[in-house]
């Protein structure tokens, strides 16, 4: 610190002068005293006359202290020495202009030394560049591996099994050869299940067993495992809050993770390799004409997707009126099916869409077991080839069951003990509408 060193040097000089004055008797004759007074001279003149040697020694001590404290070189020391003047004065004070020049010189010298050290360090590190890059890459890879390991442990993941078309073709060719060689096949032991498994999943888009969506904001133990398998194009029906969207999230997550070569959050997964994945989330509210046109154009492009495409769509019917939506979705499903794509469409219009499609559309359902204290009990795993009942149907069914008691007359029917033919109660009539 330059200022601290300069202040310390001042103290050295002043202490030296005080000690010299204490140890020396100074005698001034009357005529000399009158002369000093007449000239207006003060202690500076007295120092110059009586303590010149002591003052010079004090200034030299201050200069030496400043040079030593800052460890200055010869050029810097020359500037530093000029900070204390030879003209006697008390107390001794530094020349701020000289200190300012010294500060500039020290700053420039520091910058020069820093630049030199950086160049020397850069020269030393240049030979270690490749090694340093490798260390960084290793550290990053280790960090990624650690993150994957933690994810796999937290979600009890497993590695997926890919069912490649090439492997299926080879397996089928091998099976045909075995069938043509009956005598040899009879003498050989049973073949491994690999070929049978490959044939059985030849058309599978994906098959998930015990899957748990990592996107759910709930503890893993509270998430019901889901089993779901789709080959080709399927509609997924189910009650509100039954887990249809979560199932789509699970499918998309599993496919993306599997394609990246990462473990998937399921007990077992088999799937084909997809070239592209399209996820259309639920639209909030009916679209205006321009947005509707844009959405239809988007699905026109998706419908051209071939065998390597996976399309997952959540309640596309929300984009427009239900009747028109069913027709549009049916047309999209027909195009995707004709092109061999894999697709899952969540819809509350599964029955209507199936009737409008020109082929037998697969409809799977997430079925609610019933209502318990106003809460749905749901089997989260979709049931294959099953149109799930809606939430309103379950509620009407519950009301109809509860109404079949002594108070049935209050619901529009006849009492149970009435001699008249009992008519269906109001809730039963409603329930018939769902059949």
What CATH number should be reported for the domain holding residue 209?
3.40.50.300
Residue 362 placed within a domain: yes
**Does 425 lie in the same domain as 330?**
no
**Assigned domain for 387 exists:** no
Are residues 367 and 251 part of one domain?
yes
DSSP-derived secondary structure for 60-89: HHHHHHHHHHHT--HHHHHHHHTTS-SS--
Q: Is residue 174 part of a domain?
A: no
**What per-residue confidence (pLDDT) applies to 298?**
83
Q: Examine the fold and report which residue of 91, 123, 155 is the final residue of a domain before the chain moves on.
A: 123
Task: Give the CA distances from residue 83 to residues 17, 66, 92, 254, 311, in Å, rounded to whole numbers and listed in that order.
Answer: 18, 9, 11, 77, 83
Q: Are 417 and 336 found together in one domain?
A: no
One domain, residues 401 and 287: no
pLDDT at residue 101, rounded to an integer: 85
| End-of-domain residue from the set 76, 101, 123 | 123
The reply to whether 207 and 350 lie within a common domain is: yes
Number of domains in the chain: 3
Looking at residue 202, its pLDDT comes to 47
State phi, psi for 425 to the nearest 5 degrees.
-75, 170
Strand-pair partners of 1: none
Q: What are phi and psi of 233, to 5 degrees?
A: -115, 135
Whether residues 220 and 320 fall in one domain: yes
Q: Is the pTM of this model over 0.95?
A: no
Q: Please report whether residue 143 resides in a domain.
A: no
Transcribe 194-251 into DSSP letters: HHHHHHHTTT-SEEEEEE--TTSSS-GGGSPPEEEEE-SEEEEEE-TTSSHHHHHHHH
> What does the pLDDT read at residue 255?
96
Same domain, 408 and 344: no
- Considering the domain boundaries, does residue 141 fall inside one? no
Residues 313, 280 contacting (CB under 8 angstroms): yes
- Say if residue 210 is in the same domain as residue 287: yes
The pLDDT value recorded for residue 45 is: 58
Cα distance between residue 421 and residue 403, in whole Å: 17
* Distance separating alpha carbons of residues 79 and 84, to the nearest angstrom: 10
- 330 occurs within a structural domain: yes
C-alpha 261/C-alpha 81 separation (Å) is 73
Contact 420, 409 (CB under 8 A): no
- In 3-state terms, what secondary structure has residue 151? helix
Residues of the chain with pLDDT under 70: 21, 23-51, 165-203, 284-289, 305-306, 370-376, 391, 404-425, 435
Please answer whether residues 345 and 329 qualify as being in contact, where contact means their C-beta atoms are separated by less than 8 angstroms: yes
How is residue 300 annotated by DSSP? H
Q: Are residues 400 and 279 in the same domain?
A: no
What's the angle, vertex CA 370, arms to CA 365 and CA 375, rounded to 5? 105
195 in any annotated domain? no
Longest dimension (CA), the chain: 154
Are both 262 and 298 inside the same structural domain? yes
The residue range of the domain holding 225 is 201-375
Q: What confidence score (pLDDT) does residue 36 get?
A: 52
**Residues 247 and 302 grouped into a single domain:** yes
Give a yes or no: residue 164 inside a domain. no
Closest Cα to residue 299, out of 277, 276, 280, 323?
A: 280
Strands 161-162, 233-238: pairing kind: unpaired
Q: Are residues 118 and 222 in the same domain?
A: no
**Residue 385 DSSP SS3:** coil
């Amino acid at each position: 610190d330059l200022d601290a060193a300069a202040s310390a040097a001042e103290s050295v000089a002043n202490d030296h002068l005080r000690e010299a004055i204490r140890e020396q008797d100074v005698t001034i004759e009357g005529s000399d005293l009158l002369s000093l007074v007449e000239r207006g001279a003060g202690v500076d003149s007295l120092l110059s006359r009586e303590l010149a040697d002591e003052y010079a020694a004090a200034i030299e001590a201050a200069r030496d202290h400043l040079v030593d404290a800052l460890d200055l070189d010869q050029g810097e020391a020359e500037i530093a020495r000029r900070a204390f003047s030879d003209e006697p004065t008390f107390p001794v004070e530094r020349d701020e202009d000289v200190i300012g020049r010294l500060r500039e010189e020290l700053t420039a010298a520091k910058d020069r030394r820093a630049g030199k050290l950086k160049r020397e360090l850069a020269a030393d590190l240049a030979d270690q560049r490749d090694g340093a890059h490798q260390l960084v890459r290793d550290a990053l890879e280790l960090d990624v591996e650690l993150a994957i390991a933690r994810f796999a442990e937290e979600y009890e993941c497993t590695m997926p099994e890919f069912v490649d078309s090439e492997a299926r073709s080879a397996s089928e060719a091998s099976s045909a050869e075995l069938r043509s060689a009956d005598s040899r096949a009879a003498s050989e032991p049973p073949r491994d299940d690999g070929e049978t498994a490959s044939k059985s999943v030849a058309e599978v888009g994906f098959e998930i067993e015990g899957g748990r969506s990592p996107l759910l904001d709930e503890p893993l133990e509270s998430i019901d495992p889901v089993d779901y398998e789709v080959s080709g194009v399927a509609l997924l029906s189910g009650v509100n809050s039954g887990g249809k969207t979560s199932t789509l999230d699970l499918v998309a997550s599993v496919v993306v993770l599997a394609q990246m070569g990462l473990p998937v959050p399921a007990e077992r997964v088999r799937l084909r390799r997809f070239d592209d994945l399209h996820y259309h989330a639920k639209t909030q509210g009916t679209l205006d004409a321009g947005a509707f046109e844009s959405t239809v154009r988007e699905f026109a492009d998706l419908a051209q997707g071939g065998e390597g495409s996976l399309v997952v769509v959540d309640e596309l019917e929300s984009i427009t009126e239900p009747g028109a939506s069913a027709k549009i979705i049916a047309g999209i499903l027909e195009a995707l099916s004709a092109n061999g794509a894999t697709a899952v469409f969540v819809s509350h219009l599964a029955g209507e869409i199936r009737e409008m499609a020109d082929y037998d559309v697969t409809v799977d359902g997430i079925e609610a077991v019933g209502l318990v204290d106003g809460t749905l009990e749901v089997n989260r795993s979709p049931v294959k080839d099953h149109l799930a009942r809606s939430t309103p149907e379950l509620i009407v069914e519950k009301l109809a069951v509860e109404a079949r008691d002594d108070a049935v007359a209050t619901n529009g029917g006849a009492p149970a003990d009435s001699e008249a033919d009992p008519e269906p109660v109001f809730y039963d009539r409603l329930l018939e509408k769902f059949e």
